[in-house]
Amino acid sequence: DFEISLPKEEPDLERDKLTAIFRIFQEALTNVARHANATKVFVTMNEFKNNLILEIKDNGKGITQSQVNSPKSLGVLGMKERALVFGGTVIIKSSMKSGTTVRVEIPLE
């Protein structure tokens, strides 16, 4: 099951930022498919305080903080690095009982 909520108008972003956001989104969904054993994924994108906010939530088995911070977690590192290039952040929160949330914030300007 998949739910998505997008802004009515496409955000006005330069091509490099759009590509980074797409790649982060792609990696997050790949992680859900490979590791989460989720049955639902919820995606929201909106603008808040001059930032683009993208959230990918699942109801899967979760990820430990040590897995998130592991140097072997190349996908997670890649997501964080892509956001950092544009002054953004990727925050991953998880509960072993209620899944994982990947929150991406990238400045619009």
User: Tell me: the pLDDT tens digits for 50-89?
Assistant: 999 999 999 999 988 888 888 888 999 999 999 999 999 9
pLDDT tier for residue 30 given thresholds of 50, 70 and 90: very high
- Predicted pLDDT of residue 109: 82
pLDDT reported for residue 53: 97
Task: Return the H-helix or E-strand segment holding 96.
Answer: none
Give the list of residues 6+ apart from residue 64 with CB closer than 8 angstroms, or none.
94, 96
In degrees, rounded to 5, the angle at the alpha carbon of residue 73 between the alpha carbons of residues 70 and 75 is 150
